[in-house]
Amino acid sequence: MKMRGKISQALFPAAILLLFAALAQASDAHWSYEGESGPAYWGELAPEFKEAIGDAQSPIDLDINTPRQVSFHYEDGLFTAVNNGHTIQAAPDDKNESCIVIDGTRYYLQQLHFHTPSEHTVKGMAFPMEAHFVNRSGEGRFAVVSVFIDDGKENEVIKTIWDAVPKEKNVGARINNMFRLTALLPKKLDGFGYQGSFTTPPTTEGVLWIVLNEHIQASAEQIKWFTDLIGKNARPVQPSNGRALTPLQGGQKP
């Protein structure tokens, strides 16, 4: 509203007074940092207070554990393969010090295993298979690296696992020769991280997931062989509830 002329000029000081009165009323509401006038009740103390509270309030918790860099120190070695009834799993022997380092914390490789179809999806799309590399820190925290597997060329490393694993459940068998763990990773190790859970019971939370962008390949026959033995073993996707995805830089495979 524009104010013009003598009458408006006369009204102007009155308007200013009214504005101050309104502000005074708002700030007159007693608020504090505790008790019944504390932060949890601020919205109830004055209509203006209530109106001001939307979906994007400050401050927020800044999650300083959100990683930015991950480095892979995986080494080839002696691995044992097992069909545990839910998946085929390969685990390194005690001497293997394969680990990933996230923000200075080392997570040692416990085992790797497979799901078909993939458990994670990208914009609603699943892939034929997904490999999970389960890593654990000295404090017992878990970081799982996920690699999508496309239908394509036969995978020599997966072949050594399929060749070694007994069809009988829960019987471990040594994979012949050195298991080429590093050859199972894609060339580029960038991806993204998010906080999630295990995908098999108990689906304990507090698991840091690292999903790599670049996929690897296995042949249709290899994927079928797994599916025939294990069946489909992918948990459906769960609500993200606004969980943030953090870009992670893993660089090139060493």
Closest residue to bound Zn ion by CB: 132
Q: How many residues bind Zn ion (CB under 5 A)?
A: 1
Sign of the torsion angle spanned by Cα atoms 249, 133, 119, 156: positive
132 vs 147, beta carbon nearer Zn ion: 132
37 vs 84, beta carbon nearer Zn ion: 84
How big is the chain by its Cα radius of gyration, in Å? 28
Supply the minimum distance, in Å, between the C-beta of residue 31 and Zn ion. 49
What is the set of active-site residues? 86
Which positions from 57 through 86 interact with Zn ion, judged by CB under 5 A? none
Among 249, 109, 106, 146, residue whose Cα is nearest residue 190 = 249
Q: Does 120 bind Zn ion (CB under 5 A)?
A: no
Supply the minimum distance, in Å, between the C-beta of residue 132 and Zn ion. 4
Is 244 strand, coil or helix? coil
83 vs 132, beta carbon nearer Zn ion: 132
Question: According to CB under 5 A, which one of 120, 132, 133, 211 is a site residue for Zn ion?
Answer: 132
* Tally of CB atoms within 10 A around 133: 25
157 vs 230, beta carbon nearer Zn ion: 230
Q: Select the span of 10-18, 58-66, 125-133, 160-168 touching Zn ion (CB under 5 A).
A: 125-133
Report d(CA 176, CA 78) in Å as an integer: 8
Q: CA torsion, points 208, 223, 93, 179, in degrees to nearest 10?
A: -120
Supply the minimum distance, in Å, between the C-beta of residue 191 and Zn ion. 16
DSSP H or E run through 17 = helix 5-28
Helix segments in 165-240, DSSP class H: 220-230
> Where along the sequence are the contacts to Zn ion (CB under 5 A)?
132
